[in-house]
């Protein structure tokens, strides 16, 4: 991991993992990550595009281009790394494997995991979710107006299993990559650095 070049973290310092398909990254992701950074106060941020997300069909967009689009997150935080680790592993990307890698890279650090509302409410479907609850803190963000009661209930259920859930303090910015892939005209909702990759490579044209 490139992160090693930045030097080790002190015991208990926080590394915030933001994983996703990022096909493409959009303003909802930017909004979430900014809010998560404010809530979690990490020493490092790792943005990790998945190779194949276990819960979705494989992305038609080449992984190298999804990785390139994730450069748009870099201005959000000085110690932010966009990692190709999951892409290099190949196959389905399981967060538990990535957390193992981060714990080895940053011994003694506390791993915080960004989860949008759809991820929070389906968390018990993740591989090794109990292990993840034990070893990470979830940083949760609403995605839809009015979804907070459902999210609070999901958080309470995870807390009853020993999990820790930290909510961001910002309202939802409803937006999904799926909408942008199908309505290419909405590219104004994609950060400029990612939009350039889309335009240069004619992504999402039909």
> Which residues in this chain contact ligand ATP in the complex, by CB under 6 A?
20-23, 28-29, 32, 114-116, 118-119, 141, 143, 173-178
The residue among 76, 65, 88, 73 whose CA lies nearest residue 1 is 88
- Supply the minimum distance, in Å, between the C-beta of residue 112 and ligand ATP: 13
Whole-number Å distance between alpha carbons of 56 and 68: 21
Whole-number Å distance between alpha carbons of 93 and 124: 16
Nearer to ligand ATP, 122 or 130 (CB): 122
Structure tokens given for 52:
């194949």
- Supply the minimum distance, in Å, between the C-beta of residue 177 and ligand ATP: 3
Nearer to ligand ATP, 5 or 206 (CB): 206
Nearer to ligand ATP, 6 or 152 (CB): 152
Nearer to ligand ATP, 6 or 187 (CB): 187
Bridge-based pairing of strands 14-20 and 44-49 is parallel
- Supply the minimum distance, in Å, between the C-beta of residue 180 and ligand ATP: 8
- Supply the minimum distance, in Å, between the C-beta of residue 173 and ligand ATP: 5
Whole-number Å distance between alpha carbons of 182 and 203: 11
3-state secondary structure at position 191: coil
């Amino acid at each position: 991991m490139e992160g090693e070049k930045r030097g080790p973290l002190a015991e208990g310092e926080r590394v915030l993992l933001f994983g996703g398909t990022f096909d493409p990254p959009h303003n909802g992701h930017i909004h979430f990550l900014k809010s998560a950074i404010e809530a979690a106060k990490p020493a490092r941020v790792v943005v990790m595009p998945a190779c194949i997300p276990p819960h979705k069909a494989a992305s038609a967009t080449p992984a190298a281009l999804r990785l390139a689009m994730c450069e748009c997150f870099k201005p959000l935080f000085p110690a932010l790394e966009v990692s190709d680790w999951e892409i290099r592993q190949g196959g389905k990307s399981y967060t538990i494997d990535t957390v193992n890698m981060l714990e080895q890279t940053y011994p003694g650090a506390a791993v915080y995991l960004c989860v949008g509302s759809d991820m929070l409410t389906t968390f018990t479907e993740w591989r090794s979710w109990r292990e993840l609850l034990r070893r990470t803190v979830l940083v949760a963000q609403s995605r839809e107006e009015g979804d907070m009661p459902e999210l609070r209930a999901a958080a309470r259920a995870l807390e009853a299993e020993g999990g820790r859930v930290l909510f961001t303090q910002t309202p939802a910015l409803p937006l999904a990559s799926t909408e942008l892939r199908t309505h290419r005209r909405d590219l104004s909702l994609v950060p400029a650095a990612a939009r350039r990759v889309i335009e240069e490579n004619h992504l999402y044209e039909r």
